[in-house]
A and B are shown apart, each in its own frame.
Chain A
Amino acid sequence: MTFSRPSIRLLLAAMLCCSSLLTSRVRAAEVDFAHDVIPLLQKHCARCHSNGTYKGSMSIDTREALLETGVVEPGDSSASYLIDLVTSDDPEMQMPPKGERLTEEEVDTLRHWIDADLQWEEGFSFKAETYQAPLKPRRPDLPATEAGVDNPLDQIIFHYWKERGIQPPAPISDAAFYRRSSLDLVGLLPSADEVDAFVADQSPDKRAALVHRLLDNQVAYADHWLTFWNDLLRNDYAGTGFIDGGRAQITSWLYDALLKNKPYDQFVRELISPTPESEGFAKGIIWRGQVNASQRPELQFSQNVGQVFLGVNLKCASCHDSFVDDWKLTDAYGLAAITSNEQLEIHRCDKPTGELAKAYFLFPELGSVDAAAPREERLKQLAAIMTSPDNGRLTRTVANRLWHRLMGRGIVHPVDSMGARPWNEDLLDQLAVHISDSGYDLKKTLELIATSQVYGLESAPWDESAPLEDFVFTGPSPKRMTAEQFVDSLAAIAGVAPDKTENDDVFVEPVKSLEGAGERPFVRASLIQSTPLMRTLGRPNREQVVTTRPGEVTTLEALELSNGEPLSDLLAAGGQKLAANFGDLSAEDLCRALVRSALSREPTAEELQLLAETAGQPLTPAGLSDVLWCIVMLPEFQLVR
């Protein structure tokens, strides 16, 4: 089973030529396999001699296959019959037999390539991948399972485990479940009192009830998922591009959409065929001056629409036909042409081809866009095709992202390679049809995942370095807290949080209109501009679409967390506050309370003793800030497990 084309990942080549711009590139004599040779073979030879079609039993799939044909003599083009074939005037002999002949320049390229010993990227093959990700939605047949297993996700996974003889992990404690689900669904640590009440609750469906309660908290939900969507839609409150109006925020639109849980199909439609409030995503970032053709706003649109909604990477294909998957230059331009105000000339590797882009969608089988229609109409058509019930790729992609957020690893991994094979197709397809069945209500899907038995099992990390095809799902994986979760958690424990946001009208006013929504207990980190502390903890610049943040702590981060001013100042203020409010408690009592609220568990006697020693007696702001530091630096604190 292969699904990542690891061989082709090795592909050398200046495929990144999108990056080259205006600077001197090219030394004429050098032949570059990926840029010069692959396209040439692709154009003239591959149709009849590769990927399953082997006229005259000749294959150019691999270097070995090509050598077997006997038509090339590595190191000596003059002795290579291939050159005779492509230069011959004899209609009986010449290759290709019909169609365009090779230009002199192309023949020279071939000669140089053969003379330079027929360089070939190891592992590269013209033979296409075998896995074809399905496009249409599919409703899997659910396996028969034991009584009491009602959640379809559980049914599928229990069956998967049974088939493989895998023993499911043990369920986590109620307290751990509260911490996990609260951080996952609304980004907040539960208070110790809330956890106590939950643990004491005897009702059998209390976990499901908790999940409902969390998801029903519209404000906390919106505040939390804003981070995820800001990363994904590269929306930020400051950043490059704003300096000269080359970029627009979609913050108020996005926040409103999350607050009201706008159905995902409508959400997508409004981003593709936007209103003035939501146009920032489609508009992209407009840089002053000349940019590489592959980075003009129309192609940013292609790349971002492809990546965010479909898990399709069009970055290669914005410059040339992709060598790592099947996307073509015309595909990227087809999508770009839908949004373009003018006729778009196709550029290959930043050079004009003279060819005009024709507007069409990546998956024409889902529907067509009328290239002659005005732009607004074309975008409407694209939005409709994208969200048509037949587009299972849209729902699979977002289902996989949500699963990844909650379970620590995608069913398809990485989450932006939705053409790759999922570790369980039934599971992905079930989640995807659940989204459309529930009217594209993403909260319902989060609920389905969070109320599954599997979600409530012990977590274990997966080995990211192991080969993808060997992955076996053995249970949920821990996630690293986002920068925003870290800052919010600190606020919850120590009562130190930013004062207000620069977007108060966006984040405060709409909340007031909600019935029954109380005020936020503190200003959430997602609502304010990035700070040095948050940058340290991995909040991205949002210049590019970000779908996965780094999972590991770096040395520079650790330095910043050890003595950097931003965190030190916060902790010092936290220590002050704790000393002022709880100075009359014993060190043990206060440390116990802090551990309970930070880790959602009781401290061990040993831990308590250590922390009390750190705090010192009598309690001082300094001692308490050190206690806070020791607790928030613990991996146990920084991981959602």
Chain B
Amino acid sequence: MNQNQLDRRRFLQATSAAALATMGMSAPRFAFGAAGETLVQPIPKADACILLWMAGGMAAPDTFDPKAYLPFEKGLPVERVMSTFPAINTAVDNIKITAGLENVAKVMDRGTLIRSHVQPDLGHILHSRHQYHWHTGYVPPQTVAAPHIGAWMSRVLGPSNPVMPAFIDIGQRLEGVGEKEELKAFHTAGFFGGEYGPFLLPYPQDAVGAVRPPKGMTPDRFEARYRHFRELVLRGPLGQHGSDHQQESMIRAMENAHRLLSSPDRAAFDISNEPKESYDKYNTGRFGQGCLLARRLVESGARFIEVTTEYVPFEGWDTHEEGHSRLEKMKQQIDRPIAQLILDLEERGMLDRTLVILASEFSRDMMIEGVPGSTAKDQSRAASDTLELPAHYGLHRHFTGGSSVLMFGGGVKKGFLYGETAAERPCLAIKDPISVTDLHATIFHAMGISPKTEFTIEKRPFYATEDGKGRVVDALFA
């Protein structure tokens, strides 16, 4: 064995997991922010972030921002309908939400409800564009591929546990669904490169499949295969080439991958290991299972996890007709698991250091597409001046003037209500409107990332929030 091979062996054996996780990652440029001042990264309030994504446009008046309620009644003029669910009390005196969310109501004293999140109309309201905007902070199209907010966390913070992928995405298929190309466009680390991209787990129940040997391969065979590969690398002509960063990076990537694949932490991916009683509390379907998986992964040191009610055009929250009955089902899916997630994190003493956010690309309204005066095309499929069929009963138009966001943990105030929308139509945010840019700044801030953090791409700076101008909403923090 020659000297190079010896070095190679030592390299492979001696390098610790922690060191490997940070190798190849250069520090972001903290030297200058948008106004030329030295940028100091804020002290993180949370170590992990879970984004609960209500894909398809969750109607605020039918979820977290109740307005005047009228039950279905044949012949009722639609303009009289504001909410299709009655309001219920929550654990917080001045906060009411809508029926069907009784479990979330009970934990409302653990977090903050924002009712004044606003989005631009972008001329033609499309889920794909608004989702891209929300997830990257940039409105498409962009001249460079913009990174997902999770990729920012991955790039700047890296994984908390070096064997865990830093950015995990649960519940969204990128193949076999409508608008899949549009979904792929923002489920990406963009110009950061694939190292920081999402680890995709579309089916929580099958998540363990992503970290165990391929189908039909026993663990022993899988281990033996990798052992043989390592031996081949060690004994092959690699050593002859000396230090070669390309080869080193390939070997290192394989090492990292197999470190996860042989780590005890991968048990976290297997939700069937969860005690039955706990599993049942979460098991309302894919989303509920996703919340359980997210909790398990955060416990094992994941950094950023998105759990989505999967986006499929005209399904889920994307209610262009039958809005009321559809929302009954959606609430059944989300209510228990979200509340359980908060309670579990709290019980484990992790809630304070875990930022949980629930958000959607926009809200909905019975009458208004976009905001008043918008030229956006009416996209309701159940257009009628009066309620004639149950299909007419629901909030079927995209509304960008005021949507709801929930935030728990990560230093966010408890039992707090922020912002307000008008009681009468149009239900615009009339107090403390908060843009995507500012909401992102706030999330980044809680995670210890300045909204002015920038990376250079094609000689230009690219900021964590648009132009580095995102403003942290300090009022949200305790």
Q: Report A's interface with B, CB cutoff 8 A.
A: 5, 8-27, 30-33, 116, 119-122, 238-240, 242-243, 285, 287-292, 294-295, 303, 313, 315-316, 318, 324, 416, 460-461, 463-464, 478, 480, 532, 536, 538, 541, 543-544, 550-559, 561-565, 568, 572, 604, 606-607, 610-611, 613-614, 622, 626, 629-630, 633-636, 638-639
Please count how many residues in chain B sit with their CB below 8 Å of the partner chain's CB atoms.
95
Point out the residues of chain A lying under 8 angstroms from B194, CB to CB. Answer: 536, 538, 550, 554, 556-557
At the interface, yes or no: B275 with Cβ under 8 Å from chain A? no
CB distance from A145 to the nearest CB of B (A): 29
- Residues of B within 8 Å of A610, CB to CB, are 228, 231-232, 235
**Contact among A23, A242, A614, A634 for B139, CB-based, below 8 A:** A23
Inter-chain contact A15/B232, CB cutoff 8 Å? no
Q: Determine whether B122 belongs to the interface, using a CB cutoff of 8 Å to chain A.
A: yes
CB distance from A332 to the nearest CB of B (A): 11
Asked if residues B460 and A315 are in contact (CB atoms below 8 Å), the reply is yes
B256 to chain A: which residues have CB within 8 Å? 555, 558
Q: Which residues of A contact B217 (CB under 8 A)?
A: 568, 622
Contacts of A315 in B (CB 8 A): 143-144, 458, 460
Beta-carbon contact of B35 and A116 below 8 Å: yes
B283 within 8 A of A: no
A636/B461 in contact, CB under 8 A? no
Whether A563 touches B210, Cβ cut-off 8 Å, given contacts A555-B256, A607-B236, is: yes
**In contact, B225 and A558 (Cβ under 8 angstroms):** no
Is A562's CB under 8 angstroms from B139's CB? no
- The CB with the most chain A CB atoms within 10 A, among B184, B194, B199, is that of B194
Distance between Cα atoms of A13 and B32 in the complex (Å): 9
- Bound together, the chains give a CA A423 to CA B329 distance in angstroms of 64
Is B33 positioned at the interface, with any CB of A under 8 Å from its CB? yes
CA distance A290 to B213 in the complex (A): 47
Q: Which of A316, A568, A606 contacts B460 (CB 8 A)?
A: A316
* Contact between A303 and B143, CB atoms less than 8 A apart: yes
Given known contacts A613-B228, A626-B221, A629-B225, is B32 in contact with A23 (CB within 8 Å)? no
Tell me the minimal C-beta distance from A88 to chain B in angstroms: 28
Q: Choose the segment among B77-85, B240-248, B417-425 that binds chain A (4+ C-beta atoms closer than 8 Å).
A: B240-248
Give the dominant DSSP class at A's interface: loop
- Of all chain B residues, the one with the shortest Cβ separation from A315 is B143
Within B35-71, the residues touching A (CB, 8 Å) are 35-37
Question: In whole Å, how far is B294's beta carbon from the nearest beta carbon of chain A?
Answer: 18
B332 within 8 A of A: no
- A residues in contact with B216, CB < 8 Å: 572, 622
Q: Is B142 within 8 A of A19, CB to CB? A: yes
Contact of B245 among A242, A463, A555, A604 (CB under 8 A): A463
Contact among B125, B143, B221 with A18 in the assembled complex (CB-CB below 8 Å): B143
Closest 3 CB pairs of A and B: A289-B124, A119-B36, A290-B123
Partner-binding segment picked from B303-311, B385-393, B405-413, B465-473: B465-473
Interface residues of B in 429-478 (CB under 8 A from A): 435-438, 454, 456, 458-463, 466-469, 471
* A122 CA / B165 CA spacing, docked (Å): 35
Inter-chain contact B120/A22, CB cutoff 8 Å: yes
In contact, B185 and A31 (Cβ under 8 angstroms): no
12 A-B residue contacts at CB 8 Å?
A120-B36, A289-B126, A290-B122, A461-B245, A550-B193, A555-B257, A562-B261, A563-B211, A604-B235, A607-B235, A635-B247, A635-B251
Q: How far is the CB of A633 from chain B (nearest CB, A)?
A: 6
A33-B36 contact, Cβ under 8 Å, with A16-B461, A554-B253: yes
Within 8 A of A (CB), among B202-227: 209-217, 221-222, 224-226
- B349 sits at the interface (CB 8 A): no
Are B238 and A635 interface neighbours, CB within 8 A?
Answer: yes
**One of B91-99, B100-108, B174-182, B336-344 at the interface:** B174-182
Establish whether residues B463 and A16, one from each chain, have CB atoms under 8 Å apart when the complex forms.
yes
Is B249 an interface residue when CB atoms closer than 8 A count as contact?
yes
Partner of A634, one of B185, B236, B458, B468: B236
Known: A13-B461, A30-B35, A562-B254. A21 touches B139 (CB 8 A): yes
Shortest distance between the CB of B151 and any CB in chain A (Å):
11
Closest Cβ neighbor of A560 among chain B residues: B257
- In whole Å, how far is A356's beta carbon from the nearest beta carbon of chain B? 23
Q: How far is the CA of A315 from the CA of B139 in the complex (A)?
A: 16
Q: Is A19 touching B228 in the complex (CB atoms < 8 A)?
A: no
The answer to whether residues A544 and B246 also contact, given A532-B175, A559-B210 and a CB cut-off of 8 A, is no
B-side contacts of A303, CB under 8 Å? 143
Q: Chain A residues with Cβ under 8 A from B197's Cβ? A: 554, 556
Q: What distance in Å separates the Cβ of B39 from its nearest Cβ neighbour in chain A? A: 10
A499 to chain B, nearest CB (A): 18
> Chain B nearest CB: distance from A239 CB in Å?
5
B257: chain A residues at CB < 8 Å are 555, 558-559, 561-562
Q: Closest CB-CB distance, A295 to chain B, in whole Å?
A: 5
How distant is the Cα of A292 from the Cα of B175 in the complex, in angstroms? 29
Determine which residue in B184, B195, B246, B458 has the highest number of CB atoms from chain A within 10 A of its CB, and name it. B246
Would you call A568 and B235 a contact (CB within 8 A)?
no
B141 interfacial by beta-carbon distance below 8 Å:
yes
Chain A residue at minimum C-beta to C-beta distance from B376: A289
B18 at the interface (CB under 8 A from A): no
A-chain residues with CB within 8 Å of residue B11 when the two chains form the complex: none
When distances are taken between beta carbons in the complex, the residues of chain B under 8 Å from A285 are: 141
Complex CA–CA separation, A88 to B209 (angstroms): 74
User: Measured between C-beta atoms, what is the minimum distance from A37 to chain B in Å?
Assistant: 9
A24 touches B199 (CB 8 A): no
Q: Tell whether A563 pairs with B35 under 8 Å between CB atoms, given A14-B463, A14-B468, A550-B193.
A: no
**B185, A240: Cβ atoms closer than 8 Å:** yes
Kindly provide the distance from the CB of B266 to the nearest chain A CB, expressed in whole angstroms.
Answer: 11
A8 touches B437 (CB 8 A): no
B426 located at the interface, meaning its Cβ lies under 8 Å from any Cβ of chain A in the complex: no
- What's the least CB distance linking A639 to chain B, in Å? 6
The answer to whether A12 touches B461, judged by C-beta atoms less than 8 angstroms apart, is yes
- Taking CB atoms, residues of chain B closer than 8 Å to A565 are 214-215
Whether a CB of chain A sits under 8 angstroms from the CB of B258 is: yes
Please tell me if B19 contacts chain A, counting CB pairs below 8 Å: no
Chain A residues with CB under 8 Å of B461's CB are 11-16
How distant is B125 from chain A, measured CB to nearest CB, in Å?
Answer: 7
- Nearest CB in chain A to that of B154: its residue: A556
Name A562's closest neighbour in chain B (CB-CB). B257
B237 in the interface (beta carbon within 8 A): yes
Q: Which residues of A contact B456 (CB under 8 A)?
A: 9-10
> Chain B nearest CB: distance from A45 CB in Å?
18
Known: A324-B459, A635-B250. A25 touches B467 (CB 8 A): yes
Is B312 interfacial (CB 8 A cutoff)? no
Interface 1/0s, chain B 147-190, versus A by CB < 8 A? 00000000000000000010000000001000101101100100
Q: Which residues of A contact B330 (CB under 8 A)?
A: none
Q: Which residues of A contact B222 (CB under 8 A)?
A: 563
In the complex, which residues of chain A have a beta carbon less than 8 angstroms from the beta carbon of B165? 555-556, 559
Q: A15-B460, A31-B35, A639-B246 are in contact. List 10 more A-B contacts (CB 8 A).
A: A9-B459, A14-B34, A15-B461, A119-B36, A460-B244, A538-B194, A544-B145, A563-B209, A563-B213, A568-B217
* CB-defined contacts of A20 to chain B, threshold 8 Å: 466-467, 469
A556 to B195, CA, bound (A): 6
Q: Which of A294, A553, A636 has the most CB of B within 10 A?
A: A553
Give Cα A177–Cα B78 distance, bound, in whole angstroms: 75
Inter-chain contact B35/A119, CB cutoff 8 Å: yes
Which chain A residue lies CB-closest to B235?
Answer: A606
Cβ-defined contact, B32 with A19, below 8 A = no
Give Cα A622 to B238, complex, Å: 27
Contacts of B124 in A (CB 8 A): 288-290
Is the beta-carbon distance between A461 and B182 smaller than 8 angstroms? no
**Could you tell me if B34 and A541 are in contact, using CB atoms closer than 8 angstroms?**
no
Given contacts A14-B463, A607-B232, A630-B232, contact A541 B145 (CB under 8 A): yes
Q: Which residue of B lies closest to A318 (CB)?
A: B143
Cβ–Cβ contact B436 & A289, under 8 A: no
By a CB distance below 8 angstroms, the chain B residues around A613 are 228
Provide the bound-state CA to CA distance between A116 and B33, in Å. Answer: 14
